[in-house]
Amino acid sequence: MAGLIDNLKQGDASAFSNMVNTCKDMVYNTAIGILQQAEDAEDVTQEVFIQAYESMSSFKGESSVSTWLYRITVTKSLDHLRRKTRKKRWAKITSLFGLQDAPVPEPADFEHPGVTLANKERSTLLFRAVARLPENQKAVFVLHKLEGLPAKEIAAVMDISLASVEGLMHRAKANLREQLEKYYKS
């Protein structure tokens, strides 16, 4: 791995291509879990690798390449979500003043491409609830459930303590449970 990093720092195109081909699925899967839109996830995945390429010289190797890439992915995905929320809010305001005729359409329910057929309906419900979670809880839940990362690695990715990760995970599950209870009881 140290050799790969050295090659990347020297601007070796084949080393970069190797890194992209090895890590593109994990980056895309994390991004799609947070963003729940294939086009947005592809955009963010590209941005992640562009940033990784540009900031390779500043990578000190204190964490593994995958942790570093996960960190960029989570940051970029959450930034993307914030931008979208701002746009939606602005569209609502402009529509109130009659400056915009058509309201921004709500995206359809998200179906994760990797889920088994038997779980499709349930996972759609799960993602609808995940979309309503606060940012950090969402990121922790996606990293744990979709990528199967242990709490220790999630702590390294999010740059928070292990106890914080456990707390966020606990709150995320409690929030999801509450939302699902409301859904099934209504």
Partner 1 sequence: MRKSHDIEKEIDAVLNSMDGSGRATPGDFFYTRLQARMQQEQPSAIERLAGFIARPAVAITGIAVILLINAVTLLKQWNPAPARQEQVALQAFADEYNLSVVTFYDDEKHCPDDDAN
* φ, ψ of residue 66 in degrees (nearest 5): -65, -40
Rule CB under 8 A: choose which of 5, 8, 40, 45 binds partner 1.
45
User: ∠149-155-156 over CA atoms, to 5°?
Assistant: 90
User: Closest approach of Cβ 91 to partner 1, in Å?
Assistant: 27
* φ, ψ of residue 7 in degrees (nearest 5): -60, -40
Token output for 64: 């593994």
Could you give the CA distance from residue 56 to residue 5 in angstroms, rounded to a whole number? 8
Contacts 24+ apart (CB under 8 A), 123-129: 125/180, 125/183, 126/176, 127/36, 129/175, 129/176, 129/179, 129/180, 129/183
Rule CB under 8 A: choose which of 78, 145, 151, 166 binds partner 1.
145
For partner 1, give the closer residue by CB, 51 or 67.
51
Cβ proximity of 141 and 30 under 8 Å? no
User: Closest approach of Cβ 24 to partner 1, in Å?
Assistant: 6
For partner 1, give the closer residue by CB, 61 or 150.
150
Closest CA to 41 of 21, 20, 25, 22: 25
For partner 1, give the closer residue by CB, 53 or 90.
53
User: Closest approach of Cβ 118 to partner 1, in Å?
Assistant: 9
173 touches partner 1 (CB under 8 A): yes
Site string for partner 1, 106-135 (x = CB under 8 A): ------xxxxx--x--xx-xx--x------
Q: Total residues contacting partner 1 (rule CB under 8 A)?
A: 38
11 touches partner 1 (CB under 8 A): no
User: ∠56-60-64 over CA atoms, to 5°?
Assistant: 85
For partner 1, give the closer residue by CB, 87 or 177.
177
Cβ proximity of 183 and 173 under 8 Å? no
14 touches partner 1 (CB under 8 A): no
Binding residues (CB under 8 A) for partner 1: these are: 17, 20-21, 24-26, 28-29, 32-33, 38, 41-42, 45-46, 49-50, 53, 112-116, 119, 122-123, 125-126, 129, 145-146, 173, 176-177, 180-181, 184-185
